[in-house]
Structure formats: structure tokens, C-alpha cells
Structure 1
């Protein structure tokens, strides 16, 4: 469909968080009211575009879309289009989107004045999911995605992915469905901070997060009188270069200028229009020109808005994006259910290996290497799980999985037989009052197996796992402490080191042997930029003699790779993004993760990174696990 072209990031100043609205926010006297001026053009929707120093006009009326320069028509497409919007591209082009109201079809065009045919249709599709009220583009510089929001008027919106990592998709892919107010009428996106604004008719304006993997929470920007300043139905929204917002009320026609704290700066009446429907903005220096149009294709009105001094805005640098190639079936329940994965390796056939995952409401789920659930063990509320190999149980050697059981603050044991079937092997009591994270350790010095388990107070206990041939027992051998709540941990069996994540503060290093000192060292601190609280899952990976520490940075939905030896240098910062070809969404709000550098069969010959996905989309379902081939991470590390 579209050729491969890089995108130009709009330069818009960051938007701050809106303050709570005061109970009775009165109109402010003495505001400068710029007077609308008539523009000599008739259009139901009007856009002014500057490309390569030249100015072009884009407009729709009852007969179609037209692009012109002055009085010269450069292109035309027949139809009854509404909600015309644009997204600048590089190399002198802009991407246009509009809806045909007769067929509820989405149209995308590329407008490139330098080409023989400046206006080219690149995509057209009937939208069956909802009647579309408005369209708005979002370009994420961090995640290298271009998407388009389709806002419906009956409580829903779709986010369509158009371009990823500078590659156009063959056709748009729906990557998120949003729940929005029933009478939603207009949308706009602040490209710099990833804020999606949605108007709820004449009642409110809301702010959401535009990133497809972000939290779906919202905040209130403005409400109707007497608690706010809205009076009529809001038909259009636009973001200005200083981070403020324009809202167009339909009848009587009025433009509201709202700052980034939700306060009304200006209210501009447009008496020349009986009803207003279209709003577009162009910027020059510190002045915004607002173009207000009407569905009856009357004369377009324009208003000049002086803005505060606008600082130069640098787009957020791109973060490495890795794609998942496999996902597990979703959890059987919705909500925050899954937490931590572990891997059991089949001794002979890697493709028969298994993935274990804790269910914080019910027990342990077991998946095969096709992502299918093959076993469920309903033992109670499990939090973290880990695996080690070759312990005697019932007169035979078994592998062992141990999980933290929150129902009774115990260690829940599972024996894994040679076929990969798990058996409930009983519990080991702990002294904890709020058990949480867990990891296992096999000492190269003594050959003993241990379990490290922590609780929310910062206490960490080390238990030795012994057997009498018929069962397993646990003996408390040591206690450690971090200042505040930990969870994720991993032990380096080869080097005798324990790493623990103190969620809000740091990653700690302790000696793992039972007779070692109990003092630890904070080796990697939360920096609020790359590593953002909470620190959650922690795993180790070995490759060519190097040891890496992989961490899930839950606060910014990303992952980091550090050297697992001093000075613990950061090697990679990445996100797990949408795989549109396989129909797998990205990963976010990750709790636990695991990594193996042993083969797991076809597609994972060098191992895999396995992460819990807190927001499972495409479609919206219960949480699950996403797998990224380890070789893809190695390519970034080289």
C-alpha cells in the first residue's frame, strides 16, 4: 500500500497534568476577545497545510475532498467526507484521513505536491465496528508507531496501527479498543506527551493516554456549567503548539481556549456561523490561526490566537522495539491474575519444554511451546515460581518447582516427572506474615538446593530443601533484609550471587551461600528515566562467558539488560511492541519475567525471554505471557 517513508514528528510543547476543576469556575472579565475574520472559501471542513515553504488548502464539502493552491485545484476525490485530519510526513508529504458519512468508510490519502498526481488514495475500508464521529492521528516517537484513532459516538473507539518502525503495514491493524463516554463527539492528540483528548458532547472533556499499551485511566479537563465552562456540544478539538487546547462548541458557535491545567483562557464567539462543526489550526511563529467551518459549507471563519513564547521541543528518542513471536492462552479470569513465569526444560526434546506461570487467584498454569495450557494445579494464590533439577522424590529423581503461596505464607512444592507432568508435593511453612517473591538457588559448592523467599516488609529468608527419599522438607538457614518491599529475585548458581529487586528503590546483591554474610549492596538504582519503579521481574542470562541481568521496569513499560558483574553497566533498554503480522500485542505493566538461553525448539533455538503481560490486547482478554526469541536480544547487544 504505502511506500516506506519516514515520519516527521510534530513539534508540540509538553502538556502538564490538569488540576482539579474548581466548583464554580466563573468567566474571567477583561479577556482579550479576538474577532473572527471571514476567509473567502466555502467548506464543511478546512485545513491549511504548508509544505516545502508553499501553502495549500484542503477542504471538503457536500461533493468531495479538494486540494488546492490558491485558486489552482491540485486534486479531488468525490464523496461526502467529514472529519478531515492530517499527519505530516517527511519528504514534503502529508497523510490525510476522512470518513465518508454515506458508507461509513475510512479513506487515507497521501498529498505530495511535487508528484505528478499530488493527491493519491492509499487506503479505503468500510468501518463496521462503530459509526465514526471523529478521527485523530498519533505518532509515537518513542515507540516508532503511527496510529489513527476512530472515535465512535456510542461508547467506544478503535486505535488502528498504520506504520511501525518506519514500515507501513499492508493494511491498518486494530491494536486497541477503548471504552469512552457514550456521547463522544471529538478527539485530538498531543503528540509530544501522548495524551488523547476526548469530548463528551456538552458535558466534559477527558484526557486519556494515547499509547496502545498504556493504562486506560482518564483525567478530567473541563466540564459543563455550573462546575466548568462548557455550554454547547463540543464538535472538534485541536492541540496548540504551547500545549493548550482549543474546543469548538456547535451552537452557538464558540471557540474555547483551555490551558494545560483545564482553565479557560478565552471564549471566542463566531456569530457568522449558525452551527459550527469543523476546527483546524495552523501555526506561524507564536501565533495560531484557527479555521472554523460549518456542515452547510458556508464561509470559513478564522481567528488569530497569540500564544505564549514557545520553547523548542525535542521529540523523545526512540526506544528499541522487539516483537513477540509467541503468546500463551489468556488467563481463565480477568484482572490482575498472572504474575511470574518459569521454564522447565525437557531433557531430550527442547520443543517439549514447558512454561509455568503463577495465578494469583488460583494456582499454577502450565503451557506447552505452542502457548496452549496443558495443566492447571488449583493449589491457592501463588505469586512467584522457580525451577531446579534432579532432586530425589518418592524413590526417583524429579525436577522441582517451588512457588510462594500467599494463602498460608508457605512454600508450595511441585515435583516434575520425566514427561513434564507436575505433581503437588506439599508445603513448607515459613515465618513470614505477607509472603511475596521467590527464587531458587543450587549451590555449586555444597550441591544443596535452596529457596529464597521474601515478604512485603523487606525480609528475605533462605531455606535449604532436604529430602528423606519420600518427601521434601525445608530448613531456615539465614535471614536477609532490604529497606522496603522487594519481590523479584534471581540467584546465580555458578557464581553464588543473589540479586533482589527492592521495588521502589534499587537492585541489591547478596552472597547466596548459606554461611555467607547477611549484608547486601545496592548495585543499580531506580533513575526515573530508564529504570522506573516498580522494579519487578529479574532474570539471569549467560552467553559466551558473559552474564546479563534482565529487569522489568514496570513504571515505563520497558525492560533493561545490565551486566551481572561490576560495574553493572546498562547494555540495552527496550520495549516489547505489537507484532501486527502475527496478531500479537505488545507487553506492558509486566510483573515477572524469565529468560533461558537453552533451546525451546523451533523459533527459540537459542532460548527466549518470557514476560508477563499485564494488559493483553488484540483483543482485550485476560493476562498472558509473551515470548521474544533470545537471538533477537543478542542482535541488539552485539
Structure 2
């Protein structure tokens, strides 16, 4: 019996693959109250060192926390008393009804079955209290929004929310919602229902490449799906890739953007405790890194220099719900693969 157990343990360890050296974070944020999930980075273009990292605290008594670049909570910019906020994203220079522009933050509030929109950095609500989503069905958690990302079309200058849910049909798992400027900020207009689903687990992480016009989403037990971001380009799935490189759940997605279409699709391998890097150009696998986080749900990246603190850009990743925090890494530390150790 002991020999069998030892053999089983060896097989399990072998299946996890070689151990990657840990790249310790440059900054660890102060903890949230409940359960961190997903970050977004708002770049202060007038003073990059005063940029803000927003992060969800996923609970019935939840919040959108605001952190400075030292990882300290900015209480004046933190939104509390939210009903299980899940994923969050930001966009810049979005047009309002009066012709002015504002930066916005958008997030899902799962237990109220809605999405919320606030101006940044003022945090003025622009949604008349929230937009209900997925109200066509009341069963199997299909009405509960989870993942969200923003697409601002270079062609039409329209702004869209791409929203996923806790569970959904095999076709039409995602909704694309135009954020139409209105007297109170924005009004929602569903422009398409699209996206395939394996039915294995769920689709939470969504990321949009505004420049190249692609949407990526993580079908957690299956692979990374890719679609056109422009609604009039059709609902055809352009690629399904990466599944063989993950131990189990395929989670947070971040896109590093460099000139000439270069950059990477960075995806959390949740149970492996690592991140897989894929080419932004052809979506081929490049390498994996261990950044010290465990059970990572969400991540985000910017290639913009954020002053002396993060001169090469910033990568933010959620750390497990025991520590309830986010890790910051200067982006220069993630550019090259490291050698693995047995």
C-alpha cells in the first residue's frame, strides 16, 4: 500500500511539470476585507506616478478598492457596499452626450445582475444606478454577470461593454452592449449575442485588444477563444488556443501592447500558480513564469511608463483569498523567459 501511495504521489508531482523559479513582486498591496478577484489600471496621463489600480473584492459586502502605486488603499477612491463585484475594466476619452469626454471604470455587480459605470478619477456614477443584464433567463445562474471588458472602436468611436456570465448557453454566452451617451451618462443597447462555450466550467476572463480589434475570453477548462471586436465583422470564432498549456482553470487575461502589433496575451494558469505568455501576433505559446501568486483569478498590464516606480510598465495580478491582495511587477521583469528547475 505504501509503495502504491508513493508511486501515486510521484505521478501527481510529475504531471505538474518542472518547477519555475519565483519572481517576487516589487509591491504587495494592502489586503481587502474578503476575496480579491480582478484588477484594472487607470493611467493618470498628467502625472503617471499618481495612477490608480482598481481591484474587486468579491463578496456580498464587496467593494472596488483603489490602490496607489505603493499598494496603499486610497479610501477616497474606493467604492464600498457593493453586491459581489466581479470583474473591472477602464477606458479613456469616452464621449458623453454633451460632447465632452471622460475616462470610465466599469464593473459587474453579480448579485444585482447588473453592470456599473463610473467616471475616473471623480467616481461619478454614469449609469442611473446600474444596467440589468441577461434578464432573458432566470435559471442555472445564466443571469449572473461575471467577466467584463471594454472596447472603444477606432472606426466608429462607439464604446462597448463585452459581458460574460456565471453560466450560459453553448452559443451566445457573451453579450456586446453599446454604451449609448444619454442624459444620465450612458444607456445600454445590446448589439449582439455571441461566443461559444464548452460547457465544462465557465467563461469569466475577457480582454479586448482595441488596436487590433480582437476579443479574447477564457473558457476555463477548455481554451482561449478569439473573436472580432467590431460587431459588424461577424460572430465567427477566429481561434481556440492554449488549452494544452494549462493544468486546470484558464483564468485572468491581460494584453501587453507594443508597436507594430507586437506584445503578448498573458493568461493565468490558476491551479499551477503560473502565467502563460502567448504571442499577440499569432497567439503561439512563448513561455511561462511564476510570479509568486497563488490561485490567481484576474490580472492586468500596461506598457506605459508610470514614473520612477514602474518605468517599464506595470503588471498587476490577484493573489489568493487567504492573503486578499494584489502583486505588482515592473514589466521589464516579465519580458524574458527564465530557465526551469527540476
TM-score range, shorter chain: 0.7 to 0.9
CA distance in 1, matches of 2:209, 2:97: 28
Of 48, 53, 57 in structure 2, the residue corresponding to residue 355 of structure 1 is 53
Secondary structure of the structure 2 residue equivalent to 1:387: strand
1:450 and 2:166 are equivalent in the alignment: no
**C-alpha deviation, 1:531, in angstroms:** 1.5
Structure 2: gaps of 5 or more residues: 136-142
Task: Please state if 1:369 is matched with 2:69.
Answer: yes
State the distance in 2 between where 1:16 and 1:563 align. Answer: 37
Match of 1:542 in 2: 257
Secondary structure of the 1:422 match is coil
SS in 1 for 2:293: coil
Q: TM-score, normalised by structure 2?
A: 0.84
Contact 1:392 1:469 in 2 (8 A): no
The CA deviation string for residues 24-65 of structure 1, in whole angstroms up to 9 with x for no partner, is xxxxxxxxxxxxxxxxxxxxxxxxxxxxxxxxxxxxxxxxxx
CA deviations 1:472-529 (Å, max 9, x no partner) are 11100000132232110111111111111101101001111021211214431422xx
What is aligned with 2:285? 570
Alpha-carbon shift at residue 463 of structure 1 (Å): 0.3
Residue equivalent to 1:15? 6
- TM normalised by structure 1 equals 0.46
- Taking a change above 3 Å as real, the CA distance of residues 557 and 314 of structure 1, as seen in their structure-2 partners, is closer
Alignment of 1:21-170 (within 5 A): none
Is 1:552 the counterpart of 2:268 in the alignment? yes
Please state how far the C-alpha of 1:364 moved relative to its aligned partner: 0.8
Equivalent position of 1:507 in the other structure: 224
In 2, distance between residues paired with 1:623 and 1:322?
19
What SS class does the counterpart of residue 235 from structure 2 fall into?
Answer: coil
**Structure 1 moving runs of 4+ over 6 Å:** none
CA distance 1:635–1:525, change in 2 (3 Å): closer
Name which one, 1 or 2, has greater alpha-carbon Rg: 1
**C-alpha displacement at 1:17, in angstroms?**
5.0
Match of 2:18 in 1: 317
Structure 2 match to 1:481? 195
Structure that is richer in strand per residue: 1
Aligned: 1:597 with 2:311 = no
Partner residue, 2:241: 524
- 1:409 aligns with 113
Please tell me whether the aligned partners of residues 320 and 573 of structure 1 are also in contact (alpha carbons under 8 angstroms): no
SS in 2 for 1:407: helix
Matched residue SS, 1:15: helix
Q: Which ranges of structure 1 fall in alignment gaps of 5 or more residues? A: 1-11, 19-189, 195-312, 577-585, 617-621
Matches of residues 324-335 of structure 1 in structure 2 within 5 Å? Answer: 324-333=25-34
Q: Using CA pairs under 8 Å that are at least 6 residues apart, name the structure with larger relative contact order, 1 or 2.
A: 2
Q: Which has the higher helix share?
A: 2
Per-residue deviation, 1:397: 2.8
- Local SS of the residue matching 2:192: strand
Alignment match, 2:179: 465
Contact kept, 8 Å, 2:174 with 2:195, in 1: the verdict is: yes
Give the Å deviation of 1:469: 5.0
